[in-house]
DNA sequence: AACAATAGTTACTTCGCCGTAACAATCGAA
DNA sequence: TTCGATTGTTACGGCGAAGTAACTATTGTT
């Protein structure tokens, strides 16, 4: 009961770990962190057009959250037209290997998972 | 542009990796996998009462999804009252270290993240 | 004078995750 | 015969995440 105890001691639903992980569970955070981790520094429209299927609104919202959590730095250049560059902070870079580990696991296992899903729905 | 190319080549929003990871991003999957990973085998009510703040419905739904993805095995005993045991599959166990890595990262960084959030909201 | 480029913001709407509460099935026990 | 134990299922509804489209701001360009 070690894990359960820890979880309940941490306040169950108010568990701080979950509070942190919940943010990463949204639709775009992980992808943006991984991309920024690989590309280094990117401008807003570079991310926007690069990802392609993210809306302008969700990109700003997600970047704002990542910035608030100290995972991404936003560097504004006082130019017209505007120029803003995004990159990972040290904290963001420390998260990167974990997300890549997850992504690699998903890539390695998605075949089997798809097979399981089909088998499961077929059996029901 | 390596990551972006891969992402777009994989179909952007239909990216298989994301399809797999989206499931883990829900409210309960990660927690259940981690708990099952530590406890080994648990019955339905053991999980239910243990977690405490999960509804009966969400526990069944989440377990069903994890079972469909081949991450959890469900073992039914032909008894009255019913007895069902849940445990991780080999695939589920292979995911465990990645989730624990994430959880440990979150635990190690939540202080700093909270500080960043406060600083950020104060600055706006 | 209108337009292009960049980086957003805002209002409106839709979608689906999740919670709540009641119900289902089955047998033994009081 | 009603209750309790265990593992669910179902109907209903709220709320927040996310999409769409229009609008803003600023300056140089045509």
d(CA A61, CA B55): 30
Which pLDDT score is estimated for A4?
77
Strands A72-77 and B72-77: unpaired
Nucleic strand D contact set for A 15-54 (CB, < 7 Å): 26-28, 53-54
Give the nearest nucleotide to A85, CA to C1'.
C7
Across residues B103-123, what is the average pLDDT? 93
pTM value is 0.93
Q: pLDDT digit string (tens) for A51-94?
A: 999 999 999 999 999 999 999 999 999 999 999 999 999 999 99
CATH 1.10.10.10 fits B28-123, yes or no: yes
Residue in A100, A76, A102, A70 with CA at minimum distance from that of residue A88: A70
Coil, helix or strand at residue B11: coil
Mean pLDDT: which of A10-24, A92-106, B10-24 is highest? A92-106
Assigned token pair, A80? 């017209």
Cβ neighbours of A100 in B, within 8 Å = none
DSSP assigned state of A14: G
Domain definitions of chain A by residue range: 28-123
Q: Which two tokens stand for residue B33?
A: 């996998």
**What is the number of other CB atoms lying within 10 angstroms of the CB of residue B93?**
14
Name the minimum distance, in Å, from the CA of A71 to any CA of chain B.
8
pLDDT of residue A1: 56
Tokens at A41, concatenated: 């520094």
Distances (CA, A) of B35 to A9, A61, B55, B104, B118: 14, 32, 16, 14, 31
Rounded to whole angstroms, the Cα distance separating A121 from B39 reads 28
Take residue B15 and report the two structure tokens written for it: 């990216």
By the 8 A CB rule, do A56 and A108 touch? no
pLDDT bracket for residue B3 (50, 70, 90) = confident
Largest CA distance in chain A: 61
Peptide bond into A87 cis (omega under 30): no
Task: Using a 7 Å cut-off to protein CB atoms, list the covered nucleotides of chain C.
Answer: 4-11, 17-22, 25-28
Beta carbons within 10 angstroms of residue A73's beta carbon: 16
Candidates A43, A49, A86, A113, partner chain B, best to mutate (most B CBs within 10 A)? A113
User: What are the structure tokens assigned to B88, written together?
Assistant: 């991780």
Residues 6+ apart with CB under 8 A from B22: A27
Cα distance between residue A116 and residue A113, in whole Å: 5
Q: Give the residue with greater pLDDT, B16 vs B62.
A: B62
CB B51 within 8 A of CB B42: no
Which pLDDT score, from 0 to 100, does residue A124 have?
64
Of A70, A105, A117, nearest to B95 by CB-CB distance is: A105
- Which bases of chain D are contacted by protein, using any atom under 7 A from a CB? 4-11, 17-22, 25-28
pLDDT of residue B103: 94
What's the average model confidence in pLDDT over A114-118? 95
């Amino acid at each position: 009961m070690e894990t359960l105890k820890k979880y309940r001691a941490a306040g169950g639903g108010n568990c701080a770990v979950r509070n942190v992980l919940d943010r990463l569970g949204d639709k775009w955070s992980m992808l943006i962190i991984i991309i920024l981790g690989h590309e280094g520094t990117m401008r807003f429209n570079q991310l926007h057009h690069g990802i392609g299927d993210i809306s302008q609104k969700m990109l700003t919202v997600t970047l704002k959250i990542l910035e608030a959590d100290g995972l991404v730095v936003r560097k504004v250049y006082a130019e017209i037209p505007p120029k803003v560059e995004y990159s990972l902070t040290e904290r963001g870079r420390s998260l990167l290997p974990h997300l890549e580990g997850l992504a690699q696991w998903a890539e390695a296992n998605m075949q089997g998972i798809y097979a399981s899903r089909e088998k499961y729905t077929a059996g029901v």
